[in-house]
Structure 1
Amino acid sequence: MRQKGYLGVRYMFVRRAVTAMLICAAMMTLLTSCSEPVEKKELLAPVVSVGEIGVCERGDIAKLMVKDAHVEGDFEVLSFDADGYIFEIFSDVGDEVGKGDAIAALTSADFEEIMTLEQEIEEIKKENEKRRKYLEAQVKLKEKNGEDAEEERLTCEKEEALMDLKLSQKEARYKKLKEEDIGYNYITAPGDGHVVAVSSSDQGAYITAGTPVAAVATDETGMFISGAYIPEKEAVGYDSFYAIINGKEYPLTYVPVAKDVLASLSAASLSPKSRFTFVTPPGDEVSIGDYAALIVVAAKKENVLTVPVNSVYTDKDGRFVYVILEGDKKERREVVTGLSDGARIEVIEGVREGESVYVEN
């Protein structure tokens, strides 16, 4: 019994000692935390991947648009001198042609009627033959039965006469049309060159004389740049144009398309093209058919303050940048922006020249 009591007292003593040690440890931790205040950090930038530092600096900036174009020669618009139906357009845009090569063929306005007459004449002949056989069978049947077949004979002769008259009228019209030479009418290339435009009219489409069907460029002495159509009203609002041909830059002059030309092209289902003249210095090798990158300078500003475009952020309050301060701190600044070329953007208000801004990768 003495041994049991001794163990119980010893257990209580150990438990109290452990409890006291835990309380002391907790108090020490509390006192330590109170004596060392926690530094409060303020995130001045969004949590993003590691970025770079950009500089607010002055320079020229331009908004550019790049369009596909080609070097073309002075071209001639081709059309038929008669009304008719398009039989086939043999060439496509970009095809090289030689002088006299057929570009398209036309059948006369009577072509469809002739084709119809040919079918009708064949059908009338077949129907006439069937009707004659039927009437002859009726006459023979009457005679076989010993009946008077005179009435059937008269009916047969009358119907045959009507059928022959109808057939002769069709054949006479057909012969007249054929005698008027309704063969194919061709338009051909006026010289060596290549096709720069063709009508989108389908085979069999009816067109009138003078309707543009194709255009062929032949004269290398009057080369120009041809590209996607830019209306004159739109073109006058741009700053300038230039082309890059074989790695070299050439200033361009916009040439408006006359209204009557636009109207005729539209009537022929032809898409208009914009034309630009340029000057090739001696020694430059530029040929018809060469690819040209047409650069449209939509707007341009000189000596303006710019920052990298990726340094400008946007939220519900507007646009802003993070300016890098001493100690690598970042300060949010609202900015007013202007023209951008895709790499840099004009800043009208909000930053000063020489300041550094955070650029997100």
Structure 2
Amino acid sequence: MERKVFIKKFALLALVPSVFVAACSSEDKSKGKVGAVKQQTFTCPMHPQIIKNEMGTCPICGMDLVPFEKNSNEKALKIDEKRQALANITTLVIGEGNLSGAKQLNGRLTVNPEQSSYISSRIAGRIEQLYIRETGAKVGKGQPLYKLYSEQLATLQQEYLMAIAQEKQFQGDKIERQIVAAAKQKLQLYGQSESQIQQLVKTQKKDPYVVFYAPEGGVVAELSVTQGQYVTEGSPILRLEGYGQLWVEADVYPNEAKNIKIGQKVKVVIAGWEDQPKEMTISFITPSLQAGTQLTQIRGSIANPRQQWQPGLQANVFLPSASKSNVLTLPVDAVVRDGKGMHVWVKNGKDHFEPRLVKTGQENNNEVEISEGLKNGDQVVVTGAYLLYSEYILKKGKNPIEGLKIK
């Protein structure tokens, strides 16, 4: 009997350590689950595509990485009141109102090709004298441009003198008069003026040198030859640009272009000459978008009689827009625009900000119509929206409107 009691006690003592070990093991596992530390991730403020699991520097720009919430799906940002004040984040309760005014378009002054003159050599020869040797020089109509030496021209002059002498021997002969007229026309086609032809008849001496004059006034934009160079018939000599009338080109989004018509009158203000607004008639709307952008262009022309404006100056074009009533409007800066869409930031509670995808309608310099995405009474961020946008990308490492749909 005592033997059986001894065996039972021994078996019990052998079992206790294993139970104790199992209990400790399960306790350690449970502690591991409760006290598990969430892995921190880091990104570059300038290159959000760089994501690492440890602190370091960006391999692209060398900036220190900052922590962010890689796997957070929460759309809201939490910004306390102190940080809101430092970032100048202010809000506005959106409501219905009237929207009117004009839409401002960014534009620029460009050269009107119709005011340009392309001058080429009318006959083969050598540039004996080049009177204009630099671009940017102003040229008046009738001003000498270059002197050409041409044996071919001397031959044509000799033919003309012989034709005149032949006509004198056969006074009144119709064929002889036609020969003289044809020889004279050749000289004119090769650049000889009426006064030069009369001088040739007077002196009876051929001259292989001919001076070519500017057909129009302008500014030398391109010079294609040098003095002493040989040119062939049709070779380009120079290009003159006239600035008496300039084109105004302005960038337009496709949804705005549909409301613009050819022949429409718009106001143009040149940067630096705000006190001298001009009226322009839209003469052309580009049928395709510019390469690499989502913009098209409108174009018109304005007079520049004193040539006070140069191509390349910035110009603002103001498109008149019809008035609208009972529409939801926001300040233009409240809407964040990027390649994936437009969104605003709505304040929920005391310190929570949430992105909201929106669609816009009519717009002027200060206000924009919100056609979809918001309702009357929403509290919307009007200053600091782009700061919230940047903060979200830094903390979450993704665009705030990913996965959003218009409500």
TM beyond 0.5: no
Q: TM-score range by the shorter chain?
A: 0.3 to 0.5
Higher relative contact order (CA 8 A, sep 6+): 1
Greater percentage in helix:
1
Larger radius of gyration: 1
